[in-house]
Structure 1
């Protein structure tokens, strides 16, 4: 492995005061049979044939906080948007699915948007999810769940941070394929399916940039501590009249 990911995970948690652990997301071109497969059953298919072990691939972000598992295309199959962004299906296939048609009928997105959505370029054999601290390989993407203050710190540390919106899952290919750190304010589709807190946002960091991101966060946090100390001392002049 390239780094001590357990140490880097702890540093991220400490610097940002994360409530959810950083995740490692790894795309493989061979079935990673040494990693347990995600357990679950698939419900009856929708009229267009969609089903999967979870309602959408973003749900795996919530499932992986305490265990490592591998997933396959069929596990992600209920959400055509996530299947598209993760390289499991083509744009032409996604466009024919009822869930994508429903999004367009609701004017949530327009047909012109879909060709512009970042996607994983090479179809994976599997995608592995799990705590960053437990990864046994170099991850393609490190995934964080953040609140507003944590996003502020990350933005201060990374002037090139990309801010993104819907669909939330497209920050994964931005990090993997474009090598950019991307923060998403989320999307209603993902928030409803994952049950993610209203206060949470998500961030995808390219695995190759993780050590540098941590170093930049350390410098930013030192500055923030100094500024917070100054502001607290200055506020004492106002006593109970502050606010």
Structure 2
């Protein structure tokens, strides 16, 4: 008797599992001050929400995410299971991944920026995510359930549909996107991190946005910084080593309140 796991099931579950496994990897380093962008003391003092609440919030969002993924795969699937028979070239897969990255980035930039500019949405929805002034890995998806649905889940669905990728390809794309999102919120600067080498949008870049001086800048997530640069919301920074260990992210330009 052969037991098969469908691509749709893996496409739903894999990103959820990857989130906690990859976050767990960073937990191993969070007590080492020499890799941190903020000290452990700053994390404890500045963050406005308990880790227990963060975990519960993330699990709620992942539940909603899984339900939407199941619905999406059901609506777009067929009885013939074409993904089992069709083969795509590396060029096709690369094109689909790049298209999905652009779509996800575009959707998240404008939705994210609007949630900051609309005072009602920021106060009642997006401000929950900014209770983590000092981000950490498994807090990456901590936000209001409505924000999680609009920003992450709908953005992911659009990326899947507009790129034309198969459920099998989505397993790898959304697992990769999940790892990237966790990495951006990890609050660490580890040597040899490939994300820091290949992407300008990284943990230091996003840390700027979580600070009071940077809430009107660096909206881009999770891959590129193009929209920030085009629309004037890009804040450059320097990364300097602290004498007592760790790093400090410093904005390059002077910020003026509107």
- Interval containing the TM-score (normalised by the shorter chain): under 0.3
TM-score (ref. length: structure 2): 0.26
TM-score (ref. length: structure 1): 0.27
Higher-helix-fraction structure: 2
Higher-strand-fraction structure: 1
